[in-house]
Structure 1
């Protein structure tokens, strides 16, 4: 039986070109290599799953490549590249600061830094979760980080830049990685699904991308989970069922009921949502997002802010066309008030129901 490799590892980028959603950073790093303007220390910071460690490894591999391509990418043919690909390179050293955060660990590292590389020009030291180093370890690291040997390059990665002392920050070139856009995640998941011969609906990809919250690694992990649940044919219904996500259709139906001032059926729909195991707070937050999306659909200039695609985008445009802008603004204010009061409310269900009734009354005030 063939060993299964999770998608986050199987489709991990191995060149700058395959990195998703960080074009400005990859372009800067490639130009630094091309122009031979390499700094001695870099700090990659940003949320989880956006490519910090991946870019550090690609950067380290490219620096020592002996036959760079015309596009400043590693050749994957030279001895240095093959050693890296086979996880046997002695030029690239990785340290997990979460479990190696003492002064002794840093002293061992500084002793190792003195040894010149066997193949290529540089020894690269990738220190992950660098914010976990102790204060004493940071101090022991300072001198080496400021004046390392010519062959040494440090690449530090962290999710919490604010925890790193200023004296370390001042010695590094800092790159801030962004959360990956929903459209970029959806496109990459589409590529992965084709490679894995999985048929998946565009709306389903969009839900996974939303759930991942800007982290590609999370998106690929969710994708694997859905494939295990549904097999090779994945529908939108499969995804919202497995991830316990509220269907867009609930909110479209609710807005239609509110516009008709149909309070009884609006309350029954909310009861249906609760019966499916969803929390009232989750429901009201989803309603706020839905109303916000309807508002951005009201103007052709802001419709690009709508982060959904396919048939659902057309449904948003259609419903936005029958909603008055004043109604949407007041409804959003009411849902936002409900959100803020939810945690302190003694009767949470009544709070949400009262908010829905107030929204339904907005159409009467307009008349």
Structure 2
């Protein structure tokens, strides 16, 4: 800040008398003293102004430092909050991944238990059916054995019928010889040959009827035996089909369990890869935010330092120029 230039003092006049130079010198001296005093006051004002500016600068510097400190604290707090938030998200993702794995494992265990229970029920049904079939087969074997036992008397009857046929043939042959030769026949006192032949015919007819009945009964038993054999074959065929279906169900169950396990592993792997990618993205974003905040803070700090240094240098230059001008003026007036 430049002060107004004071008017020039009158030049000294060289005279021969002593009174005039002494008066001019005193005037000049008074003027110089006045100018010196004004310069000194101005220098004091400038010094005071410099001190005030220095105080203001220190206050501003302190305020700026305090502001920078607050910004640093804010940035540190923000960084800490971001880190905590990212860590919470990472922990949540990890917990979610663990929960999904546990849920998939529980689903697989539940499906496996259901399939095993279904297979156990089917196996019990198969065992019951097999046991019933075995019981029916045993009953059929028993009936067949009884049938064979009943067939034995019929065979004896056949032998009896055969012997009766032989005897009847012999009797007919004897009657034929008696009739042809007309020789005297020794007859029984109680029966004649006609009666014997008639009796043999009656017995033959009775044997034929019994033989026909036995043959009819045997045919019925044979038909029943064939029916039983057909039913046994059908039951065995159904047993084989059921066993085949059970094997297919077991194979399908194993294939389904294998497919579910592969599906779970694939989903778990994809989920883990997705969570890992999200974690990496969050970590990358966290690093970018930290780097950006650090760069911004460093840039602001450098800009603030440059601006403060420029302001200090400018103020110092202005004060030095003003002080130099005042000193030059003072020297000029002293001369």
Tell me if both proteins adopt one fold, taking TM over 0.5 as the criterion: no
Larger radius of gyration: 2
TM-score range, shorter chain: under 0.3
Q: TM-score, normalised by structure 1?
A: 0.12
**Does 1 or 2 have the higher relative contact order (CA < 8 Å, sep 6+)?**
2
Structure with greater strand share of residues:
1
